[in-house]
Amino acid sequence: MTQNFSLADCDVVGFDLDHTLCRYNLPETALLIYDSFAQYLVTEKKYDKDLLTAPSEDWDFCCKGLALDLEEGNFIKLAGDGTVLRGSHGTKMMTSEELMGIYREKKWKYFTDSLTASRTEKYYFYDNYFDLPGALLCARIVDYLTRKGNLEAFDFWKDVLASVHHNYKMTAFKENSGLYFPGIKSDPEKYLLICPESVKTWLHQLKSAGKVLFILTNSHSDYCRLLCEYVIGNDFRDIFDIVISNALKPGFFSHQPNKRLFQTLENDEEQDALPSLDKPGWYSQGNSDHLYELLKKMTGKEQPKVVYFGDSMHSDIFPACHYSNWETVLILEELKEDEDLVPEKNESEPLEKKGKYEEQHKKPFNSFSKEWGSLFVDDNPGLESIDNSLTLSWFGDRIHNYSTIVIPSLEAIADLPLDYKFTRFSPDSSKTFGYYPKPPLALLSNGESLTPE
């Protein structure tokens, strides 16, 4: 495989919407998401009222790549081979002895190579900004149940799923139910970041270069329209040839075509199921096979090359790479936060170059947690390690295996020429390759030990 990746070589460019094309004011949105779940659990399921307030210092607990072991009430951080590196019971971090007592085997019992795509009643992985507030909430629920002495079974998950359904069901936006959608609709400026002109110009450049552009999002059509019109502008339909809402990823990529047909839309209501996709437009649900057949027609190529930008390893990057063999670009805002941690920043860079888009907010979620360490690597605190080398985390390993490249935002590449050659991830390359504009500090600190054997 070539070491380089260029957008100029791609025929089709696809985008997830939330936290990809549309970026959020993360501190405000995180609180809104947390409150939307907590209010439901306290009001409807009679959970402890202490859940309604989350101290600011508690947000350090949130870290991408954690798994919630629903049987034990434990959060765990895994290595790429499934080894449990760190763990907590609720928000209380576990000692090495406690870890060894519960997770004696080298690999977590539910660990498989396909773990990225699976979610069951036994565990849940947190890998995106919509999920992370729920991780803190669940950890605090475990704390509450532990204090009560209810240790036989941690059966709160069904209530958490009910709170998710209440706030995010397809009809919630139209009905103005729950807290999340009413909050966004009433004050979009508080939660949404306007797309910078550089990104809009870049999208038009892609279009002018003959690329087919599409949006593929799990958001329902009414919410998708609000986001696109507010963030990009009322003319967003002139930019994107195809819009697919309520895509139900990752099933969009993994299900057989006849199990997930495209649906037509009328006034944001799903109508007729389509046996195939014959023309550009706005659709709901669907599958990647039928989409690819349409892309063949639109490009006039038997094997058009597709690249897909997204922020979720579970819903976007892994399935698009694994099932559809698309190029994938992971949006990881932690890379921008990682740059800001550099002690001596280049103060000669003009403020206008940084852009208002990057300065509007300060992220509550970081690449490094005091409790969990780096989301990319770990120094094996829960293992009897014979050396001081760093271990690549499960999340870091997935990034290397399924992403073509990783960037902090679309704005980070918008000023580059379309034929710019990125150094891509590849099986025989250093784990520091593939990140643009530069690798995270945690990888650079011990990059030699993270080179594949």
Please identify which of the residues 18, 35, 338, 378 carries the catalytic annotation: 18
Instruction: Tell which residue, 224, 407, 239, has the closest CA to residue 317.
Output: 407
Query: What is residue 215's three-state secondary structure?
Result: strand
Show me where the domains of the chain are located.
26-186
pLDDT of residue 192: 98
Residue 316 has what DSSP assignment?
I
Tokens of 148: 């009560």
Instruction: Tell which residue, 292, 296, 298, 226, has the closest CA to residue 262.
Output: 292
The identity of residue 176, as a single letter, is: N
Q: Would you call 16 a catalytic residue per the annotation?
A: yes
Radius of gyration of the chain (CA): 22
| d(C-alpha 154, C-alpha 223), whole Å | 34
Q: What is the pLDDT of residues 191-229, one digit of tens each?
A: 999 999 999 999 999 999 999 999 999 999 999 999 999
pLDDT of residue 387: 46
Q: Would you call 48 a catalytic residue per the annotation?
A: no
pLDDT of residue 432: 85
Hey, how many other C-beta atoms are within 10 angstroms of the C-beta on 267?
A: 8
pLDDT of residue 350: 41
Residues 205 and 4 sit within 8 Å (Cβ to Cβ)? no
pLDDT of residue 111: 83
Q: Which residue in this structure is represented by tokens 């549309």?
A: 22
φ, ψ dihedrals at 286, nearest 5°: 95, -170
pLDDT of residue 3: 86
Taking the mean position of all CA atoms in its chain, how far away is CA 396?
13
pLDDT of residue 307: 98
End-to-end CA distance of the chain: 18
Tokens of 281: 């437009």
Element (H, E) at 19: none
| d(C-alpha 431, C-alpha 434), whole Å | 8
Please identify which of the residues 16, 35, 143, 316 carries the catalytic annotation: 16
Q: Which residues of the chain have pLDDT under 50?
A: 341-363, 383-387, 447-453
φ, ψ dihedrals at 85, nearest 5°: -90, -45
